[in-house]
């Protein structure tokens, strides 16, 4: 069975950190209406996801999919990179 044939959860979020080898921290934001006060509330959750090729960068928008436990904290894999973050190169002489 491939990943497309099974019913796995998939989330979209922004990469916060890639300091670990083959692991990224992804921030997923969901917006829901509060049941009592009817105000839209943003909920945030961080997930550690497996990035086999170390391809993700900080700020990238990625799609992660559920997988078997890969380590103590990793239960997700990076499926694909939806949008790459823009990286600006600033030379030390331009700061002054």
pLDDT over 90 percentage in the chain: 79
- Residue 44's closest CA among 61, 57, 32? 32
Residues whose CB falls within 8 Å of the CB of residue 28, separated by 6 or more in sequence, listed in order: 11, 12, 13, 44, 45, 46, 47, 64
- By the 8 A CB rule, do 62 and 78 touch? yes
Enter the pTM of the model. Answer: 0.80
**Domains, the chain:** 10-85 (2.40.50.140)
Say how many Å lie between the first and final Cα of the chain, rounded. Answer: 57
- DSSP class of residue 6? S
Per-residue pLDDT averaged across 50-63, rounded?
94
- For residue 89, name the pLDDT band (cuts at 50, 70, 90): confident
- For residue 92, name the pLDDT band (cuts at 50, 70, 90): confident
Structure tokens that stand for 88 in this block? 């600006």
Asked whether residue 1 carries a pLDDT value surpassing 90, the answer given is no
Per-residue pLDDT averaged across 35-53, rounded?
96
User: Whole-angstrom Cα distance, residue 56 to residue 14?
Assistant: 10
Decide: helix, strand or coil at residue 92.
helix
């Amino acid at each position: 069975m491939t990943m497309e044939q099974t019913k796995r959860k998939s989330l979209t979020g922004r990469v916060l950190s890639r300091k670990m080898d083959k692991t990224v921290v992804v921030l997923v934001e969901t917006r829901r209406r509060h049941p009592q006060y009817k105000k839209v509330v943003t909920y945030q959750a961080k997930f550690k996801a497996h990035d086999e090729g170390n391809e993700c960068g900080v700020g990238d928008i990625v799609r992660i999919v559920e997988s078997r436990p890969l380590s103590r904290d990793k239960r997700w894999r990076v499926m694909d990179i939806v949008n790459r973050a823009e990286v600006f190169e600033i030379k030390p002489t331009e700061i002054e």
